[in-house]
Amino acid sequence: MCTFCSFKCGFIFFNMIFMASGVALLTIGVLHNPTFQELGEFTGKTLTKIAIVLIAVGSIITVVSILGCLGAFFDNFYLVVSFLCCLIIIILMEIITGAIVYTFFNKMILNPSALVNIKGSVNYMDKIKMVISEYSPEKRAAIDRIQEKFKCCGADGPDDWATSVGWEDHEATPDSCCVEKGAGCGKEKDKAHKKVYWEILFQVHSHLNSFL
């Protein structure tokens, strides 16, 4: 009897840890989704899809772990069996998904020259340069937030703004480029961030690796 109680408590404890991992994935997906959507203005919707996958997987893990806890708590054989079947499927899906994401980011981000659109038709760097060159009103807010958030300026550097069609003052950069923020600070181009867009992708890669 004591052995069964110990097994039951251990099973519930395992489910609580499993539930915590599901909630963590769900939280990460929700918190990173806005940033990934903004980055999607440059790179397409791949990052947004990753956030959606994290939210979906986190939700499924949370529900399945609750199922396991209920089965163990009420000694329901069918719920426990259902939980174990779902657990095996989830583990297999996580292994496959993790392998795909890891391969994608190592191939596409760690090797910038190979960083192309999934359809193979548009190079990411070309798309980034095009978005900055156009600097269209509907994308300006996203561009400025990204430059402020990741402390970068342009695709290749601050000089990108000198050839931007949508940016009026070619002798300056947007204020979002400034190391020290202030109204009109972009007029001092030499004080703009020197970090470029590729470094953002490395940061995203590092963030993803921290929880994959």
Concatenated DSSP letters of 75-90: T-HHHHHHHHHHHHHH
| 51 class by beta-carbon count within 10 Å (0-12 exposed, 13-18 middle, 19+ buried) | buried
Prediction pTM value: 0.55
What residue ranges do the domains of the chain occupy?
A: 2-108, 124-204
**Whole-angstrom distance, CA of residue 98 vs CA of residue 93:** 8
- CATH code, residues 124-204: 1.10.1450.10
pLDDT per residue rounded down to tens, the chain (212 residues): 566 677 777 777 888 888 888 898 888 888 878 777 766 666 556 667 778 888 888 898 888 888 888 887 777 778 778 878 888 887 787 777 667 666 666 655 545 444 444 444 445 567 777 888 888 887 888 888 878 877 778 877 888 888 888 888 888 888 888 887 777 787 876 666 555 444 554 454 454 455 44
